[in-house]
């Protein structure tokens, strides 16, 4: 029985925002073709045929849409896609997810997302001053109020969503303000994504550093734990992932144990890549509009992504947390763990501070499960 997630980019790198730190703009500029435009319905149909052709009754499939800004493909595209998926499905359990900046989420969009039971990842970078500093539209205007209206619509329609925050060097200075914003907006599910430096490894003012990562999460965990003790639980994905790992020895987060996993990331032309951080020409594994899912998987497995050279993990040799970290995600190493030649690891400093409470909570979680 397979449990598979396929990440689809229906508009490639096209976006109606101009976020100052956008990692996918950096990735797309490193390819021969920066944008593959909007996925055609015929390409989508062939992709669905090749996906369901290799799935069996009882398998579980998540179809997740990302960008760029995926809603720019238009509501008609998504209606056609979901109807075609229904038509081709024969006993596969499948669900939908979409990551969006929210600018196009009007009442009609929200009604569709709720009807089709999409899990929505809505990007909001905390309080207005931080969000507007980086998440601007094509006219360089802040977008906070427009995105907050989209959140209100999701609340009103009962659409499932979580909030995605990009943890920049600036935002990481203010964990109390982030937590206060989570309380004021009653955010129950939040994922904080480290702001990455460029592929060229040039320093920039937005990139997170291991020191800032540590300072932020040490304080945020204290606030989260105090809330937990009062009986108000807010999901912070890093804490959820660590507790699941400590309680059950398994991780649902790619890279948390230091090992990359083959993913299936599909660009707008059908091209397939093994990781959202590496949608680059040298790692292209084929095309899902012309090849079966099985052929793509074999090509990825035989490709060079998983066997690419790894940085030496000098600080990991004597680390007491190595078995639950393994050096972490290679793409996030400079931002979360340590840069080449670094002398401190951000993740280790966080665990040094809070590991006893994490282990205690993991025990509670384990005992509460059948």
Q: What is the DSSP letter of 264?
A: E
Of 54, 59, 204, 276, the catalytic one is 276
> How far is CA 197 from its chain centroid?
16
How would DSSP label each residue in 217-255? HHHHHHHHHHHHHTT---EEHHHHHHHHHHHHS---STT
Cis peptide, bond prior to residue 68, ω within 30 of zero: yes
Runs of H (alpha helix) within the chain: 23-29, 41-52, 75-88, 107-115, 128-134, 144-157, 175-184, 210-229, 237-248, 293-302, 346-368
The reply to whether 276 belongs to the active site is yes
**SS3 (DSSP) at 158:** coil
Q: What is the DSSP letter of 91?
A: S
Torsion of CA 335, 304, 242, 364, to 10 degrees: 180
Instruction: Output the six-digit token pair for 116.
Output: 């089709």
Q: Exposure pattern of 262-294 as b/e (b: 16+ CB <10 Å)?
A: ebbbbbbbbbbbbbbbbbbeebbbbbbbebebe
**SS3 (DSSP) at 65:** strand
**What is the spatial distance between Cα 115 and Cα 78, in angstroms, rounded to a whole number?**
12
**SS3 (DSSP) at 98:** strand
Residues taking part in catalysis: 276
């Amino acid at each position: 029985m397979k449990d598979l997630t396929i990440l689809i980019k229906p508009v490639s790198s096209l976006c109606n925002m101009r976020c100052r730190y956008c990692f996918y703009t950096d990735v797309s500029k490193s390819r021969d073709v920066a944008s593959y435009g909007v996925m055609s319905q015929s390409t989508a149909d062939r992709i669905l045929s090749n996906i369901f052709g290799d799935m069996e009754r009882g398998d579980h499939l998540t179809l997740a849409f990302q960008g760029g800004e995926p809603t720019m493909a238009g509501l008609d595209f998504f209606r056609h896609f979901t109807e075609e998926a229904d038509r081709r499905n024969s006993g596969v359990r499948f669900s939908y997810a979409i990551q969006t900046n929210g600018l196009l989420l009007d009442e009609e969009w929200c009604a569709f997302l709720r009807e089709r039971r999409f899990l929505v990842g809505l990007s909001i970078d905390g309080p207005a001053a931080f969000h507007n500093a980086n998440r601007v539209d094509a006219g360089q205007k802040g977008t906070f109020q427009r995105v907050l209206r989209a959140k209100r619509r999701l609340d009103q329609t009962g659409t499932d969503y979580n909030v995605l925050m990009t943890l920049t060097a600036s935002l990481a200075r203010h964990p109390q303000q982030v937590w206060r914003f989570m309380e004021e907006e009653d955010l129950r599910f939040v994922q904080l994504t480290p702001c990455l430096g460029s592929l060229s490894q040039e320093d920039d003012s937005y990139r997170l550093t291991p020191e800032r990562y540590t300072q932020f999460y040490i304080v945020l965990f204290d606030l989260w734990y105090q809330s937990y003790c009062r009986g108000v639980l807010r999901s912070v994905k890093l804490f959820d992932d660590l507790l699941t790992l400590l309680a059950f020895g398994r991780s649902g987060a790619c890279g948390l144990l230091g090992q990359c996993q083959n993913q299936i990331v599909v660009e707008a032309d059908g091209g397939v890549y093994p990781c959202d951080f590496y949608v680059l020409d040298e790692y292209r594994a084929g095309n899902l509009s012309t090849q079966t899912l099985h052929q793509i998987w074999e090509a990825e497995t035989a490709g060079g992504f998983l066997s690419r050279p790894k940085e030496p993990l000098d600080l990991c040799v004597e680390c007491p947390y190595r078995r639950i970290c393994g050096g972490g995600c290679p793409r996030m190493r400079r931002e979360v763990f340590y840069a080449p030649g670094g002398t401190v690891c951000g993740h280790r400093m966080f665990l040094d501070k809070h590991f006893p409470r994490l282990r205690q909570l993991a025990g509670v979680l384990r005992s509460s499960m059948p």
